Amino acid sequence: KNQVEQSPQSLIILEGKNCTLQCNYTVSPFSNLRWYKQDTGRGPVSLTIMTFSENTKSNGRYTATLDADTKQSSLHITASQLSDSASYICVVSLGDFGNEKLTFGTGTRLTIIP
């Protein structure tokens, strides 16, 4: 069982609608949690990075939340656009400074339809 579980595996929504992607993790203790966006045929691009003491961080229409007690994170996308179609990957970092290890989720495949 993967230590970082994402849901749903895939999601299709209409352009302009909002959506929320979920990430549950079991790794601990962790130093930070990241969300990446990966367009088809491209490498992942960082959206947000949150330390364990932060519970929300925004990047434009993307807002990530973190509940370290329940070990859950979510990524909320507001007013979706066609360019939001991509895979979204949750990544948990654990370990000490200079020796962090990343544990990746399998991602949520988001498709925005006009």
Partner 1 sequence: ETGVTQTPRHLVMGMTNKKSLKCEQHLGHNAMYWYKQSAKKPLELMFVYSLEERVENNSVPSRFSPECPNSSHLFLHLHTLQPEDSALYLCASSQRRGGLEQYFGPGTRLTVT
Positions that interact with partner 1 (CB under 8 A): 2, 4, 32, 41-46, 49, 89, 93, 95, 97-107
| Shortest Å distance, C-beta 79 to partner 1 | 26
| Shortest Å distance, C-beta 80 to partner 1 | 23
DSSP classification of residue 41: T
| Shortest Å distance, C-beta 3 to partner 1 | 9
Cα–Cα distances in angstroms (integers) from residue 110 to residues 2, 20, 75, 83, in the given order? 21, 10, 12, 10
**Which is closer to partner 1, CB of 8 or CB of 95?**
95
Reading the block at residue 89, the tokens are: 């990957």
